[in-house]
Structure 1
Amino acid sequence: MPALLITYDLNNEIRRPPIVKKIKDTWSWARLSESSYAVQTHLSPSQVFEQLRPLLDNNDNLYVITLKKPYSGWGPKDVNDWLERNLD
């Protein structure tokens, strides 16, 4: 199953909890940074975007990008392990 990167920049911070809840309740995920998550899903980037779009204000930014190996980076062990298990 493909992995996707969801990254966002919210200008109205009261909207963050609904987006985070949707991500955590819907997909297998790893938090890469404060506003970036890797998720595993059979959905396309466009389909994931459409599920999250209603949670955004017009001045917010949101990108959904396909993730795959090779990648480079370092962070917490649980995130590194998740990436190793879930990236093609």
Structure 2
Amino acid sequence: MSEVYVVGYDLNKPGQNYAGLMEELKKSPSWWHYLDSTWLIYTKESATQLRDRILNCVDNSDRLLVMEVTKNYSGWLPQEAWTWISNHLI
């Protein structure tokens, strides 16, 4: 069964090219990215599998969080964000 995960990160190495991280996240079956360092990823992978897939795209001084999203959510986002979220949280 597919799940939605929030992926958040702090990229701490100055001058590092993180284009590979963005490309790897975009390989997911569906994704939404509106906030600078936060993505919502829709995938059949577990949180650990998703973390492992993107871990080689960050430096060991960076920080990374992968956590499952539940139907209990709130925020201040554009309507298109809420539409994506409601369409993917079954």
- TM-score of the alignment, normalized to the shorter chain, above 0.5: yes
Match of 2:70 among 68, 71, 74: 68
Q: Structure 1 or 2: larger helix share?
A: 1
- Unpaired runs of 5+ residues, structure 2, are none
Q: Which residue of 2 aligns with 1:21?
A: 23
Separation (CA, whole Å) in 1 of partners of 2:80 and 2:26: 16
On the 8 A contact 1:15/1:56 being kept in 2, the answer is no
**1:19/1:52 contact within 8 Å kept:** yes
Corresponding residue for 1:10? 11
Given that 2:28 and 2:43 are in contact with CA atoms closer than 8 Å, whether structure 1 keeps it comes out as no
Structure 1 residue 15, shift from structure 2 partner: 3.2
TM (norm. structure 2) is 0.88
Cα distance in 1 between the residues matched to 2:67 and 2:30? 16
Q: Do the aligned residues in 2 keep the contact of 1:15 with 1:55 (CA within 8 Å)?
A: no
Uncovered stretches (5+) of structure 1, i.e. residues with no partner = none
How many pairs were matched up? 88
TM-score by length of 1: 0.90
> What is the identity percentage for the equivalent residue pairs of Structure 1 and Structure 2?
27
Cα deviation 1:31-80 (Å, max 9, x = unaligned): 14101000100110000000011111110001100001011112122211
Structure 2 CA distance, aligned partners of 1:72 and 1:61? 24
Q: What secondary structure, in the 3-state scheme, does the structure 2 residue paired with 1:26 have?
A: coil
Specify the code of the residue in structure 1 equivalent to 2:73.
Answer: Y
Question: Would you identify which runs of 4 or more consecutive aligned residues in structure 1 move more than 2 Å?
Answer: 12-16
1:68 aligned counterpart, secondary structure: coil
- The equivalences for 1:31-46 within 5 A come to 31-46=33-48
